[in-house]
Chains A and B, each alone.
Chain A
Amino acid sequence: QKEVEQNSGPLSVPEGAIASLNCTYSDRGSQSFFWYRQYSGKSPELIMSIYSNGDKEDGRFTAQLNKASQYVSLLIRDSQPSDSATYLCAVNPGGGSYIPTFGRGTSLIVHP
């Protein structure tokens, strides 16, 4: 069973702070990694994808991947109340299977 683990939270940060969301995965051969944002009662929305070790930045979002340690993280700079949502980590396993496994998500609350 391929596992994707996330702390369910909630993670509470003040407005303007950096929010750090973490995800670990069990399949060492995993190839691609995605972060989705899901507002309450809405469907997941892709915000970042990362495929190689290191950092990938997109606006206020930075995804970090460390395959040796089998973790991927998402940093949100200058957090806004509108960032309050559940963030889902999804991991594509190796071995030719392109069915992503989703974590259960981390709830983020940004308070004014």
Chain B
Amino acid sequence: EAGVVQSPRYKIIEKKQPVAFWCNPISGHNTLYWYRQNLGQGPELLIRYENEEAVDDSQLPKDRFSAERLKGVDSTLKIQPAELGDSAVYLCASSPASGPYNEQFFGPGTRLTVL
């Protein structure tokens, strides 16, 4: 079974530039998460999707971040414009369940560096 796929793996941009990350979850997983992980910290949720619907986006900085999950499969997370503080690893995860027993499977992440 293929795992969660993310691209790109690494991205270096100048501040104020836009950037986008792509995620393809495990086949059949309806729940998709985007996390941000800073060095020495645990992942922090940005947004959670159930199929096409964003069911929790309270932690997403909506002035510069946007996300979509068309057709309930692939998802894209965008930052525009990027700031220095956005440098982090952006992780996508998927889960076969939406309830409390939501074991999550993570993709390899995208390491973003904003200069």
Contact = CB atoms under 8 A, between A and B. Distances in A.
B105 A46 contact: yes
Contact of B102 (A4, A36, A42, A98): A98
Contacts of B61: none
Interface of B: 40-45, 48, 56, 89, 91, 98-109
B109 to A, nearest CB: 5
Contacts of A99: 45, 48, 56
Interface residues of A, number: 24
Nearest to B95: A98
A51 B45 contact: no
A36 B40 CA distance: 15
Interface string A66-84: 0000000000000000000
Given A90-B42, A105-B41, 17 more contacts: A8-B40, A31-B100, A34-B103, A36-B106, A43-B107, A44-B43, A44-B91, A44-B106, A46-B103, A46-B105, A88-B43, A90-B104, A97-B56, A98-B100, A100-B104, A102-B43, A105-B40
A104 interface: yes
Classify the interface of chain A: helix, strand, loop or mixed: loop
Nearest to B41: A104
Contacts, number: 54
Contacts of B108: 42-43
A32 B89 CA distance: 25
A46 B104 contact: yes
Contacts of A46: 103-105
A49 B42 contact: no
A3 to B, nearest CB: 12
A49 B103 contact: yes
A53 to B, nearest CB: 15
B100 A92 contact: yes
B36 to A, nearest CB: 11
